[in-house]
Structure 1
Amino acid sequence: MTTLLQSFNARTGAPHPEALSASSSQDIDDSVRAAHQAFEVWGSSSGAQRAALLRALAEALEADRDALVPWADLETALGAVRLSGELDRTCFQLRRFADLAERGVPFETLDDPAVAGAPPVGHPAMVRQRVPLGPVAMFAASNFPFAFSVLGGDTASALAAGCPVVVKAHPGHPLLSRRVFGLIQQVLQAQGLPAGLVGMVQGAGVDVGVALIRHPLIAAGAFTGSTRGGAALQAEANARPRPIPFYGELGSINPVLALPKALAARGAELATTLAGSIALGCGQFCTNPGLIVLLDDPESDAFIEQLTRALAAQKPHPMLTAGMKSAFDAGVRQMMDQGALALLAAQGAAPAPGPHLLQVSAARFIERAALREEVFGPASLIVRAASQAELLAVLAAVGGSLTVTLWGADDDTPENQALVRAATAIAGRVLFSGVPTGVAVTAAQQHGGPWPASSAPMTTSVGDAALDRFLRPICLQDAPAWLLARHGVPC
Structure 2
Amino acid sequence: MTTQLLGTSFIGYSRGIGSDVCGHAIHPASGGKLEPAYIGATPDEVNDAVELARQAFPVYSVLPGQQRAAFLRAIAGEIEKIAEDIALRGPQETGLPEARLRGETGRTTGQLRMFAALIEEGSWVDARIEHAQPDRQPVPKPDLRSMQRALGPVAVFCASNFPLAFSVAGGDTAAALAAGCPVVVIAHESHPGTAELIGGAITRAALATNMPEGVFSLLYGGGRTVGISVVQHPVIQAVGFTGSRSGGTALMAAAANREQPIPVYAEMSSVNPVVILPGALDKGEAALADAFFGSLTLGVGQFCTNPGLVFLPEGKGFGFIERLRELVGASTPGTMLNPGISRAYAETVEAVASTEGVQTIARSSGAEGQGAAAIFSVSLRRFLEADLLRGEMFGPATLIVRGSLEEIEAAIPELEGQLTATIHATTEELAAHASLVSALESRAGRLIFNGFPTGVEVCHSMVHGGPFPATSDGRSTSVGTMAIHRFARAVAWQGFPDACLPAELQEENPLGIRRMIDGQFV
Question: With structure 2 as the length reference, what TM-score do the two structures score?
Answer: 0.90
Instruction: Specify the alignment match of 1:467 in structure 2.
Output: 484
- What amino acid is the match of 2:115? F
417, 422, 433: which one pairs with 1:416? 433
The one of 366, 379, 382 aligned to 1:348 = 366
Gaps of 5+ in 2: 1-17, 507-522
User: 1:277-303: per-residue Cα shift (whole Å, max 9, x none)?
Assistant: 1110010000010101111123x1221
Whether 1:279 aligns to 2:297 is yes
TM-superposition CA deviations, 1:442-476 (whole Å, max 9, x none) = 11111100011000100100001001111101122
| Counterpart mapping for 1:57-72 below 5 A | 57-72=75-90
Distance (whole Å) between structure 2 residues aligned to residue 369 and residue 295 of structure 1: 21
Aligned counterparts of 2:493 and 2:429: Cα–Cα separation in 1: 47
Do 1:388 and 1:415's aligned partners in 2 also have CA atoms closer than 8 Å? no
Which residue is 2:512 aligned to? Answer: none
User: Would the alpha carbon gap of residues 488 and 313 (structure 1) be closer, same or farther in structure 2, given more than 3 Å must change?
Assistant: farther
Give the equivalent residue in structure 2 for 1:223: 241
1:241 equivalent to 2:249? Answer no
Q: Does 1:89 align with 2:104?
A: no
Q: Once superposed, what is the RMSD of the aligned Cα atoms?
A: 1.7
CA distance in 2, matches of 1:142, 1:118: 61
Alignment of 1:391-430 (within 5 A): 391-408=408-425, 410-411=427-428, 415-430=432-447
Secondary structure of the structure 2 residue equivalent to 1:411: helix
Aligned twin of 1:332:
349
Give me the identity figure in percent. 40
For 1:486, which of 482, 503, 513 is the aligned residue? 503
The equivalent residue for 2:53 is 35
Give the C-alpha shift of residue 333 in structure 1. Answer: 1.6
Does structure 1 residue 448 correspond to structure 2 residue 434?
Answer: no
Among 431, 450, 455, the alignment partner of 1:433 is 450
Deviation of 1:54 (Å): 0.5
Preserved contact between residue 38 and residue 220 of structure 2 (Cα < 8 Å):
no
Structure 2 distance, partners of 1:323, 1:70, is 23
Give the Å deviation of 1:175: 1.2
Report the secondary structure of 1:95's partner residue. helix
DSSP 3-state at the match of 2:36: strand
Structure 1 stretch 172-181 or stretch 89-98: which is displaced more? 172-181
Q: CA deviation at 1:25?
A: 1.4
Give the C-alpha shift of residue 308 in structure 1: 2.1
Q: Which residue in the other structure is 2:520 paired with?
A: none
Distance 1:304 1:397 in 2: 25
One-letter amino acid of the counterpart of residue 459, structure 1:
S
- Cα distance in 1, alignment partners of residues 290 and 35 from structure 2: 42
SS of the residue corresponding to residue 75 of structure 2 reads helix
Residue 433 of structure 2 aligns to a residue whose secondary structure is helix
Letter in 2 for 1:189: L
Query: Which deviates the most, 104-113 or 37-46?
Result: 104-113
Which aligned segments of 4 or more residues in structure 1 are displaced greater than 4 angstroms?
412-415
Query: How far 1:190 sits from its partner (Å)?
Result: 1.8
Moved more, 226-235 or 9-18: 9-18
Name the structure 1 match of 2:174: 156
The count of corresponding residues between Structure 1 and Structure 2 is 486
Question: How far apart are residue 113 of structure 1 and its match?
Answer: 2.2
Q: Partner residue of 2:509?
A: none
In the alignment, is the contact (CA less than 8 A) between 2:328 and 2:364 conserved in 1? no
Q: Would the alpha carbon gap of residues 205 and 86 (structure 1) be closer, same or farther in structure 2, given more than 3 Å must change? A: closer
The answer to which of 205-214 and 220-229 deviates more is 205-214
Cα deviation per residue 1:82-138 (whole Å; 9 max; x = unaligned)?
110110000100000000010013433011223442468x63221121110110000
1:358 aligns with 2:376: yes
Partner in structure 2 of residue 294 of structure 1: 312
Q: State the partner residue of 1:4.
A: 22
Any idea what SS the aligned residue of 2:109 has? helix
- Residues in 1 aligned to 2:175 and 2:502: alpha-carbon distance in whole angstroms: 25
Spell out, residue by residue over 1:418-448, the C-alpha distance to the aligned partner (whole angstroms, 9 max, x if none): 1111110000000002110010111111110
CA offsets 1:377-420 (integer angstroms, 9 cap, x no match): 111111111x2221123321212100000000522667510111
Match of 1:172 among 184, 187, 190: 190
Once the two structures are superposed, residues 165-221 of structure 1 have per-residue CA deviations (whole angstroms, 9 ceiling, x without a partner) of 000111100111112111211221222222311111112461111111101100100
Q: What is the Cα deviation at residue 348 of structure 1?
A: 2.3
